Structure formats: C-alpha cells, structure tokens
Amino acid sequence: MTVAVLEGSGFILGTAALTLLCYLLMRYLTGGDPEQHTKDLAGSVIFRVSALHGLILALVFAQEMVDYQQLKFESTVEANAIADVYFDARRYDPDLAPVVQEPIEAYLELVVSREWDHLAEGKGLFGPAWGQWDAAYEAVLDLEPADQRQESLRSHMLDRIHVISETRVKRENHAAGSISAMFWFAAMAGVVLIALAYYPYPVQRHNVMLIVMFGAFTGLVLFFISAFSNPFDPPGAIGTGPYLRLIEQIARS
C-alpha cells in the first residue's frame, strides 16, 4: 500500500510540476502577456489539444479496465473448471480419485503460490504448473469407464481440463500485453502542449492553481493506467481470490 501511495504521488506531483514548469518557461520565452487575439488563439488550441488528449487517455484507460475485468472473469471460470475436475474425479470412482485430484490440487497450489509472482516479473506461466496440469490430463485420459455414468464424467472432466489450459494461455496473454511507448509519448506530449498553450494567462494564484490541478489530475489518470497495465503486479494486482476460496472448499470436503 505504501509503495502504491508513493508511486501515485510521484505521478501526480511529477505531472503537476512538469505542467507548471512548461507554463512558466513559455511565459519567460514569450516575454509577458500577449495581445487578445493571441489569447483567443491559445484558448482554441487548448480546447482542441485537450479534447484529443482526453480521448486518448479515456480510450486507453477503458481498454485496461476491460482487460482487467476480463481477467477476473477468466480466473473465476478456471477456478470453477478446476473444482469440476476435482470433485468429478471423486464421483467417477473414490478409489481412483487421488490419481486425478493430487496433481489438480498441486496445480492449484502452484498457481496461487508461484505463478502470479512469475507473471508479475514478466517470466510467463510457471512451468511446473503446466507439469501438474499435464499429469492430471494424462490421469483423466487413462481412465477406463465401466458404464455410461463414468463415461459421462470422464468426458466432462476432459472438457473442463481443456478449459483450464485455455484460460492459462489467456492469462499469459494478459501478462504479456503492455502499453506501447507510443502511448506514453502521446500522453506526455499532450500534457506539455496544453501547458505551453496556457502561457497567455498571467501568473496569478488562481491561474497557477488551475494549471497545477490539470497536471495533477492527468498524473492520477496516468498512474491508474500504469497500475492496471500489469494485472499481476501491485498496485493493480488482481489477486487470487477464486483459487483461494477453492482451496478452502477442498480442505473442508
């Protein structure tokens, strides 16, 4: 939490300072208050650049939130699929169930304890977790149904174990997706251009406060975009709630 506050403060204060410095520098270079027609032109430039800049930030922020919510949904889907395989193995045959349940439970533990950190560090999916998934898959494939009930359960387990692999691949894609440097260039260029265009307005307390407020809010939005760009790394980490609840459910069963 402390790190998130420090990072957020850095974005906010840094962008506010950059905005104010650009404004003061432009005032210094242009040598004072311009004529009214220049102020009118600057207002028009500010309006147009601000609209485009705000649109860029809004679109990128919205996309990050969509990806974030999608990952939450996919995590829930995977946890449900793991639960189906685990409990269907018991329904199939209580004596054979451990052959499937043990690697599935080991897989679940690795996802919670190792894979999230692995993805946060940009190292991709945790290899041993794939190994446990494969062991569970092989165990289900080796089952020999003796009746229609067991055949139905085996088919369902195979279907659900494929869902697990699909959500794993999607999870890796979420971790690999990062915001392009072009976005950061456009975002910061917009801040600078808008700040420069404020130069016709005199250095007065209320003007300076408004300019600083613009920079601070832009910094806050940029911080949120940065935080949610990697959903496995704090401060925007999504957490492993669905998997932890499943571990508790298995422990009680």
pLDDT at 57: 94
User: Which tens digit of pLDDT belongs to each residue from 96-122?
Assistant: 999 999 999 999 999 999 999 999 888
Q: Tell the burial category of 193 from Cβ atoms under 10 Å away from its Cβ (0-12, 13-18, 19+).
A: middle
User: Tell me: the pLDDT tens digits for 203-220?
Assistant: 999 999 999 999 999 999
The span from the CA of 42 to the CA of 195, in Å, is 11
User: What pLDDT sits at residue 248?
Assistant: 95
What are the residues whose beta carbons fall under 8 Å from the beta carbon of 155, sequence distance 6 or more?
A: none
- Candidates 191, 198, 201, 253; CA nearest to 222 is 191
Which pLDDT does position 31 carry in this prediction? 80
Q: Are 125 and 118 in contact (CB under 8 A)?
A: yes
State residue 84's pLDDT score: 97
Q: What are the structure tokens assigned to 125, written together?
A: 């999916």
| Tokens linked to 223 | 């911080």
Domain range summary for the chain, segments of one domain joined by +: 2-63+181-229, 79-178+239-252
Residue 37 has what pLDDT?
82
Task: Please tell me the predicted confidence (pLDDT) of residue 122.
Answer: 85
In the prediction, which pLDDT does 7 show?
87
State residue 52's pLDDT score: 94
* Helix pair angle (36-92, 127-141), 10° resolution: 40
Q: Is the dihedral of CA 232, 121, 9, 181 positive or negative?
A: negative
Contact status, residue 59 vs residue 179, Cβ threshold 8 Å: no
**203: nearest Cα among 14, 13, 28:** 28
Residue 177 confidence (pLDDT): 67
Torsion sign, CA atoms 139, 140, 144, 146: positive
User: What pLDDT, on the 0 to 100 scale, is given for residue 219?
Assistant: 96
pLDDT for 4: 76
Long-range contact pairs involving 26-34 (C-beta distance under 8 Å, separation at least 24): 26/195, 26/196, 26/198, 26/199, 27/199, 27/203, 30/199, 33/200, 33/202, 34/199, 34/200
**Which pLDDT score, from 0 to 100, does residue 1 have?**
67
pLDDT at 33: 77
Residues in the chain, pLDDT under 50: none
204: alpha, beta or left? (left if phi > 0; alpha if psi -120 to 50): beta
CB 42 within 8 A of CB 198: yes
